[in-house]
Amino acid sequence: MIRKPILAMFASCLLLASGTLFAADAAAPAAAAAATEAPAAPPPAPVAPTIAVDKTSLDNGGTITITGKAEPGKPVVIEVYNEHRVGGSFFDSKPDKDGKIPYKLYLSKDLPAFYQILVPTSQQPVLDKFKKEGRGWSYSAALKETGADLAYLNPGKGPMDSFQASLMATILGSRGDLLPALDDKERVKRSMQIMKGRYRSVGKLLAATVDQKEDGSFTAKVKIPDGSPDKKYVITAVVDKSTRSEPVTVENKVSFPVIYMENAGTSLNIFVPFALVFAIATFGVLMGAGGGFIINPVMVMLFPIPHNIVAGTVTPTVLFSQGSGIMNYSKIKFINWKVGITLGIAMLAGGFIGPALTTMITLDQFKSAFGWILFVLAALMFWQTTPGYLAKNKKEQAIMKEFQKRAAEAAKAKA
């Protein structure tokens, strides 16, 4: 009597157990199937955009058309950078919140030699607004407002040095005390300031050319101007922080007489600076000043070469003409070594300090200071054309001729 219900219970338990077992067996493949079909809908992870370019190589610049597809409704920004690396600097001399001036110099040698982020065409008014701000525009604010900050991936990754500048350090001819390494966030922030100092204009760093349709497909154009660096340009489309396309590369070819100048970060037809320097230096010799006064400002105005590179490269150029001048004057004994060396030592000290200051000023400060130097020089030149000066000069020229005659005779007598 009692056995029956027990048996029944046992049987039902068994049935239940096997039922759940069976159910579990059946559920397993279903779950596996659900796992493989999961990305279809609804999507837990966004789909990376795809991009293609209309050409794989350029000949000293050109326009690249980028086409691609992203998810509908997700705006795309595109980063374009060149693989060549160049240097740049930013000197922080703006008072902070407490009114203290930091006097910090940030230096990077790991900036792309060409850099542009393409933003949607709808952002054109934002870019125009920043263009109107003139020299003082903020790159970081422009990146943020246009959404381009998502694509700001390449600069600011590499090493960056920062220095605490001080009057004493400058007198000692150094850049200052090397500060501890910057953290990632700070490095990215400073890299934006350095990039802005190097490329300066809104139009160079940002372009509103991404034309995106409702279905998510887009086309964009990037203009690589002539004179841009050669080798690889890497293009990446970005939707958000973790979603970006595979990079696509385009090769820019430059051929002789156009060459890429590594430190200047620009490609130049070598005959252009050659002819320019020849013409300016000739005029410089004629007017009695070296060519450096005109070569430096003209170079920074015409070519996208940083002012510190121009100054540092023109300086050794004049060294040799000075050396040959000294040789010629010393042959006819027209150098007073005592006064020349005494003043020379004072100048040696000055030459120790000046180059450290070149990187601390911006290109705009370089230009305007140079403008004033040229006004002073023009005034000096004008003074040399006044009758009083000419009369005095005539007398001294006569004495000089007399001395030169005597020097020639002395040399003859010796021989």
Hey, what are 204's tokens? 């160079």
Cα distances (angstroms) measured from residue 170 to each of 88, 96, 173, 179, 357:
19, 22, 5, 16, 8
| Pairwise CA distance, residues 191 & 193, whole Å | 5
| Pairwise CA distance, residues 27 & 32, whole Å | 9
Residues binding another protein: number (CB under 8 A): 114
Distance in Å, CB of 91 to another protein, minimum: 13
Asked if 72 is part of the footprint of another protein (rule: CB under 8 A), the reply reads no
Stretch that binds another protein, among 186-194, 208-216, 238-246, 294-302 (CB under 8 A): 294-302
Closest CA to 231 of 250, 208, 207, 256: 250
Q: Which of 173, 213, 240, 253 binds another protein (CB under 8 A)?
A: 173
- Could you please report the per-residue DSSP string of 181-221? PPPHHHHHHHHHHHHHHHH-SHHHHEEEEEEE-TTSEEEEE
Asked if 390 is part of the footprint of another protein (rule: CB under 8 A), the reply reads yes
Closest CB to another protein among 27 and 357? 357
Q: Give every CB contact of residue 74 below 8 A, 6+ residues apart in sequence.
A: 46, 216, 239, 240
Q: Which of 406, 408, 411, 413 binds another protein (CB under 8 A)?
A: 406
Q: Which of 27, 323, 409, 411 binds another protein (CB under 8 A)?
A: 323
Go through the chain and tell me how many residues it has: 415
Distance in Å, CB of 332 to another protein, minimum: 8
Closest CB to another protein among 14 and 341? 341
Asked if 47 is part of the footprint of another protein (rule: CB under 8 A), the reply reads no
Interface mask toward another protein for 98-117; x: CB under 8 A: -----------x--------
Rg (CA), the chain: 34
Distance in Å, CB of 201 to another protein, minimum: 15
Q: Which of 20, 371, 405, 411 binds another protein (CB under 8 A)?
A: 371
Asked if 337 is part of the footprint of another protein (rule: CB under 8 A), the reply reads yes
| Pairwise CA distance, residues 66 & 59, whole Å | 17
- In the region spanning residues 6 to 35, those forming contacts with another protein, defined by CB under 8 A, are none
Closest CA to 89 of 181, 144, 163, 170: 163
Asked if 365 is part of the footprint of another protein (rule: CB under 8 A), the reply reads no
- Could you please report the per-residue DSSP string of 64-120? EEEEEE--TT---EEEEEES-EEEEEEEE-S--TTS----EEEEEEEEESSEEEEEE
Q: Which of 15, 274, 391, 405 binds another protein (CB under 8 A)?
A: 274
| Pairwise CA distance, residues 142 & 126, whole Å | 8
- In the region spanning residues 174 to 203, those forming contacts with another protein, defined by CB under 8 A, are 175
With contact defined as beta carbons under 8 Å apart, do 118 and 210 qualify?
yes
For residue 62, what is the enclosing H or E element? strand 62-69
Stretch that binds another protein, among 64-72, 120-128, 240-248, 390-398 (CB under 8 A): 390-398
Q: Which of 12, 302, 384, 391 binds another protein (CB under 8 A)?
A: 384
Q: Which of 5, 29, 40, 320 binds another protein (CB under 8 A)?
A: 320
Asked if 396 is part of the footprint of another protein (rule: CB under 8 A), the reply reads yes
Rounded (5°) CA angle 157-162-166: 165
Stretch that binds another protein, among 94-102, 139-147, 235-243, 374-382 (CB under 8 A): 374-382
Asked if 277 is part of the footprint of another protein (rule: CB under 8 A), the reply reads yes
Stretch that binds another protein, among 21-29, 65-73, 153-161, 399-407 (CB under 8 A): 399-407
- In the region spanning residues 300 to 319, those forming contacts with another protein, defined by CB under 8 A, are 301, 305, 308-319
Stretch that binds another protein, among 138-146, 231-239, 248-256, 378-386 (CB under 8 A): 378-386
| Pairwise CA distance, residues 368 & 390, whole Å | 31
